[in-house]
Amino acid sequence: MSKLTIAQLDLAGRRVFLRADLNAPLDRGTVTDDTRLRAVVPTIQYAVKAGASVVLASHLGRPKGKPTPEFSLRPIGEHLQSLLDQRVELAPDCVGEATSARARALTAGQVLLLENLRFHAEEEANDDGFAQALAALADCYVNDAFAAAHRAHASIAAITKYLQPAAAGLLMQQELSALGRILEAPDKPLVAILGGAKVSDKLTLVEHLLGRVDALLIGGGMAFTFLRALGHAVGRSLVEPDQLETARRTLDAARRRGVALVLPVDAVVADGLDSAQGRAVGVRDIPAGQMGLDIGPNTVARFTEALSGARTIVWNGPMGVFEKKPFAAGTLALAKAVAGSPAFTVIGGGDTVAAVSQAGVADKIDYISTAGGAFLEFLEGRKLPGVEALTDAA
């Protein structure tokens, strides 16, 4: 996917509208996880070093189209100042004459942070007039918000009709390169690991991956729908009855394609999420009154063996309720197995990123995507509005 990048722009003396994803968690006005802020710093620094001024834009939370003090980007700007080691001025709004005046007054190297884009309902409506007002603040457009690229919003899609060229930032470029490598030309064997709660959430992804992967490992709550489809009694484990036939078709499709679809052989079971401990049992032996909340040690060994010959691994979704200590072992063990593989490894999704961080192996993963929904939709083969809107490279 060849798109124009920031490195191909002449930025000297220009104002860059930089759409970032600064949607970081806050606690009483303090940023509690600055992963997404750190991710955009290299692009800001690149633009500043190239002689540009930066009009930085993002959403934060869901303020429902009206100004809401708790969703102000002020604490984000203050945290960014410390990361950039330079002043980041906060505009009073993202549009309007006062904001326009501040944008026009920028000199090379300065950074102006617009107030929350979602304080205006027109942002999520992909409104042309709002997009045009945003476009008037700058001379060129750079999108570094891959995590929001699946949204057809004004600052992501419509703005590019009025502000050209539209280039990918350094983070966007890295995301497209890493994920494109999985879909377009992966080193084989390619193994995908999927977890999380529901088959229905990842049905399209499973179907798309079956035509590309050599093995598909399925854990988490979604595995129990597949196990039930095979005739196993799974106690009170999470099952989607309306997806049983879909699971059977998926299993048949994997067999026809020669794809190894690997399911758990044991699970850590307990009476419920608040149980102080669980115990591992075979998937044929889950008690009627208990539920599976993690993969068991035999499954960890089986999954690890399935990864042993892989040259590319992509992982989304935890293997159990890893936020609860009694049910974290499977996910953390798998994180260490993925990190220890010589394969090119890519992970995405907030829970999966949290799991590899908790396991202490984040620095051993080749690429950690900042995205959740966009990561999944890209791997499903969907066209993302934020990517499609970028200018094609010459």
From CA 119, how far away is CA 124, in angstroms rounded?
A: 10
Q: Are 267 and 292 in contact (CB under 8 A)?
A: yes
Which residues, other chains included, contact 136 with Cβ-Cβ below 8 Å and sequence gap of 6+? 100, 162
Q: Residues 324, 373, 381, 382: which is the catalytic one?
A: 373
Q: Could you tell me which of 179, 150, 169, 144 has the C-alpha nearest to residue 348? A: 179
Give Dmax over CA atoms of the chain in angstroms.
Answer: 70
SS3 15: strand
Clarify whether 212 is annotated catalytic.
Answer: no
Q: Are 237 and 272 in contact (CB under 8 A)?
A: no
Q: Residues 14, 181, 198, 324: which is the catalytic one?
A: 198
- Which helix H or strand E contains 315, and what residues bound it? strand 312-316
From CA 167, how far away is CA 169, in angstroms rounded?
A: 6
Q: Residues 3, 15, 19, 36: which is the catalytic one?
A: 36
CA 248 to chain centre: 29
Q: Are 113 and 73 in contact (CB under 8 A)?
A: yes
Clarify whether 198 is annotated catalytic.
Answer: yes
Which residues, other chains included, contact 112 with Cβ-Cβ below 8 Å and sequence gap of 6+? 53, 54, 55, 56, 88, 89, 91, 102, 103, 106
Residue with tokens 């307990």: 270
Cis peptide bond N-terminal to 165, omega within 30: yes
Strand 166-168 relative to strand 190-194: parallel, antiparallel, unpaired? Answer: unpaired
Q: Could you tell me which of 323, 326, 376 has the C-alpha nearest to residue 347? A: 376
Q: Residues 350, 364, 381, 382: which is the catalytic one?
A: 350
From CA 339, how far away is CA 50, in angstroms rounded?
A: 36
**Rounded (10°) angle between helices 329-339 and 350-358:** 80
Clarify whether 36 is annotated catalytic.
Answer: yes
Clarify whether 350 is annotated catalytic.
Answer: yes
Q: Are 393 and 3 in contact (CB under 8 A)?
A: yes
Q: Could you tell me which of 233, 236, 232, 224 has the C-alpha nearest to residue 197? A: 224
From CA 292, how far away is CA 352, in angstroms rounded?
A: 19
From CA 129, how far away is CA 117, in angstroms rounded?
A: 14
Which residues, other chains included, contact 177 with Cβ-Cβ below 8 Å and sequence gap of 6+? none
Catalytically active residues are 36, 198, 350, 373
